[in-house]
Chains A and B, each alone.
Chain A
């Protein structure tokens, strides 16, 4: 089954304790992206990756890191989480042609609480 998986689905942590949220897709997609969803703010793009070893900042990259060492995986790293990073996080992937609509497929989300 074609899918995007995220782990963990729920996480409660404390300020300053490094954490990683994993994202994996089985569709051989070039493009992968991380978003955060906050009430009243919609989805905001954190980072995206156009292919292996190619990443770039979205609109809200501060406090986050990413890496793309393999095509299927795109982990989101919070080196020193703070309470303002409490949010619902989504990973997404798509083929990338650049000239087509390129449907994004979203993972189920990770609800992160930073105390």
Chain B
């Protein structure tokens, strides 16, 4: 079945860039999402990318998609302590109603 994988932890220093990686198996994935979960809260959509795009930039966030390798990454520029959270990658195929989420990557930003 479909699967989405992420590394569990990432630690960076404040001001550095963070890169969170995700791999997925479903080649029909059309929409790929990045969500942020702060402690004790629900998930909040950060950004998404369509499968016909290679890159999307939104302020400090850059999403890169390598369709050949089924690899998605989220780069956070100038990482701040407020970026400390769990980041989830998710995918959905066109016309389907099911979402597949990754395991989440816990980002810790060191001051």
* Chain A residues close to B by CB (< 8 Å): 4, 31, 33, 35, 40-45, 48, 50, 56, 58-59, 90, 92, 96, 98-99, 101-104, 106-109
**Count the B residues whose beta carbon is within 8 Å of the partner chain — how many?**
26
Extra 18 A-B pairs, beta carbons < 8 Å, given A48-B98, A101-B48: A40-B8, A40-B103, A42-B6, A42-B101, A42-B103, A43-B43, A43-B101, A90-B42, A92-B42, A96-B97, A98-B94, A103-B45, A103-B48, A104-B45, A106-B42, A106-B43, A109-B40, A109-B42
> Is there an interface contact between B31 and A101, defined as CB atoms closer than 8 Å?
yes
* Chain B residues close to A by CB (< 8 Å): 1, 4, 6, 8, 31, 33, 40-45, 48, 50, 88, 90, 94-95, 97-104
User: A102 contacts which chain B residues (CB < 8 A)?
Assistant: 31
> What is the distance, in angstroms, from B9's C-beta to the closest C-beta of chain A?
11
Residue from the set B4, B99, B102 with the largest chain A CB neighbour count within 10 Å: B99
User: A43 contacts which chain B residues (CB < 8 A)?
Assistant: 43, 88, 90, 101, 104
User: B90 contacts which chain A residues (CB < 8 A)?
Assistant: 43
> CA A50 – CA B42 in complex, angstroms?
21
Contacts known (A42-B104, A104-B45); A50 close to B8, Cβ less than 8 A? no
